[in-house]
Amino acid sequence: MASAGPADLVREIVAQGRLRDPDWRAAFSQVPRELFVPFFYVPAPGGRMDRLWRDDPDPGRRARWREGVYSDQPLATRIRDGRLLSSSSQPSLMATMLEHLQVTDGMNVLEIGTGPGYNAALLSHRLGDRKVTTVDLDPDITDAARGHLADAGYRPRVVTGDGAQGCRAHAPYDRIIATCTVARIPDAWPAQCTTGGLILTPLATGLLGLRVAADGSAAGTFHSTPAYFVPLRGGAAVPSDSGGEGLPSGVPPHALNDDRFRFLLALTDGHLDPAEAYALWGRTGHPERERYGVTVQEGRQWVWLDDPEGPHTWPLGEPDEQ
């Protein structure tokens, strides 16, 4: 049996109804993911993490590594003290995000969260090296990504720095794409965008698209696709979950099992208690993700349902930040 390769991955993604854009289909077909994931970690008995490696002397383990690389799944690529620091995102989700980015030739793109460099390579294949800047806080991650990118024949700008600060040196950007989740929109992102530029970022398990206006404000709605990413580290880090609070009172179990309600809970982030959120969810017809949006304007950031100036709005971020 022939070993798995990029063509197999592309077929799997296309079968899901994604990669409709021929330019992105070509990028996924021609950028070998294996060069960016020389090893990854999988759960093992006893709570351990087992490393599957490209150069493992065991042919069976090498085959498992390659099968994992070309399957449509996220891969844990860097773990420190038991905590996931970096991963190669699920390719079908990467494809969805890249298509939502709506790039055209000549656009300048900033990526926040370099990871192993695979997404930066796909962007470079589509737009050219000089149109892509990628930023990550961890020098070990950026050093490894530079090597992976060079091995694949790509040389975008790889910058070690706080992604919350963007990268002023190569601004303005027509597009900013984050491959890590944020609690609030960093001020630097809209400030470093062109008028009409698009910011695409995971937030509260959703995928948010914001258009930047001439006055530096930004607004937009969530896409239907759920998005679970490693949190951004640095100036806009996502607060740690305190945990241990048990099931919220006043909310029936069926709601807690509904992704639509869990998304609303994540968006309210303490500004509504769970019972209030449940009441709102019922009154408004169990809204899907696309009915929610975010506005960033004059130092304020708020989430809204259906209308930025309507009755259902609340501040974005931790309550004590407002």
Catalytic residues: 89
Q: What is the Rg, in whole angstroms, of the alpha carbon atoms belonging to the chain?
A: 20
Contact 85, 230 (CB under 8 A): yes
Rounded Cα–Cα distance for residues 215 and 22 (Å): 35
The length of the chain is: 322
